[in-house]
A and B are shown apart, each in its own frame.
Chain A
Amino acid sequence: GESVGLHLPTLSVQEGDNSIINCAYSNSASDYFIWYKQESGKGPQFIIDIRSNMDKRQGQRVTVLLNKTVKHLSLQIAATQPGDSAVYFCAEILGGGSQGNLIFGKGTKLSVKP
């Protein structure tokens, strides 16, 4: 399943399928990007990050892709599991900025159907 982030805040996928969550970030000067997962009743949890000198970074079952040309970030989750159900936020920090310049996107809710 694939979402378009800001324009489709809910993504529903079948357990075992791959999920793609997209994010259009706002500033071409941003050079650090992070994905957070927030489960119901909990605070955001770090998933993966990427700096602007990279196009791709892989973690355990997750991959982040960065396309600076079109200011687009995506999170791919392989073999989606029920425990992946959550709201996913992308976030960006402007180049030379500190954590105080962290900008969160609006979020995408991922629902995994058994």
Chain B
Amino acid sequence: DTEVTQTPKHLVMGMTNKKSLKCEQHMGHRAMYWYKQKAKKPPELMFVYSYEKLSINESVPSRFSPECPNSSLLNLHLHALQPEDSALYLCASSPTPEPEKLFFGSGTQLSVL
């Protein structure tokens, strides 16, 4: 299995809702990432988990809360989002945090109304 699986593929939520994005990989990778991508822009790093511990938080607002329950799973909990948070949220993994290729999921397209 060489895939990173993200669910749901699409999500519409109101500003008062609480929702979660899920990411799963079974490649034995020990580093996992959340990226945010606006239309026609490159991905922007949000969080890095290294060996199930949060190692990088790129000054992301607290309405985004990451969680890594185990080495295969990564969640992103969403609460009280703003319309400008609408974007494609990408999960990625790599064997280690060292520089090498990333394996990306297909993303969750999020719309905040």
Interface residues of B in 89-108 (CB under 8 A from A): 90, 92, 94, 97-107
Distance in Å: Cβ of B62 to nearest Cβ of chain A: 20
What residue of chain B has the Cβ atom nearest to residue A34's Cβ? B101
The answer to whether A46 touches B103, judged by C-beta atoms less than 8 angstroms apart, is: yes
Instruction: Count residues of chain B with CB under 8 A from any CB of chain A.
Output: 27
Nearest-CB distance from B12 to chain A (Å)? 17
Residue pair B42, A102 in contact (C-beta under 8 Å):
no
- Looking at B41, B55, B102, the one whose CB has the most chain A CB atoms below 10 A away is B102
- Chain A interface category by residue count: 20 to 34
Please determine whether A100 and B45 come into contact, CB atoms closer than 8 angstroms.
yes
Q: Which residues of chain A have a CB within 8 Å of any CB of chain B?
A: 32, 34, 36, 41-46, 49, 89, 93, 97-100, 102, 104-107
Q: Select from chain A the residue with minimum beta-carbon distance to B104.
A: A43
Residue B14 lies at the interface, judged by CB distance under 8 Å to chain A: no
Contacts of A44 in B (CB 8 A): 43, 90, 102, 104
Q: A43-B92, A104-B42, A106-B42 are in contact. Are A97 and B99 (CB under 8 A)?
A: yes
Asked if A99 and B94 sit within 8 Å, CB to CB, the answer is yes
A49 cross-chain contacts in B, Cβ below 8 A: 100-101
> Which B-chain residue is minimally distant from A33 (CB atoms)?
B99
A70 to nearest B CB, angstroms?
A: 22
A97: chain B residues at CB < 8 Å are 99
Q: Cβ of A45 and Cβ of B104 under 8 Å apart? A: yes
Q: Are B104 and A99 in contact (CB under 8 A)?
A: no
Confirm or deny: B31 has a beta carbon within 8 angstroms of a beta carbon on chain A: yes
Question: Which 8 A-B residue pairs are closest in the complex by CB-CB distance?
Answer: A43-B104, A104-B42, A46-B101, A100-B56, A32-B99, A93-B99, A98-B97, A100-B48
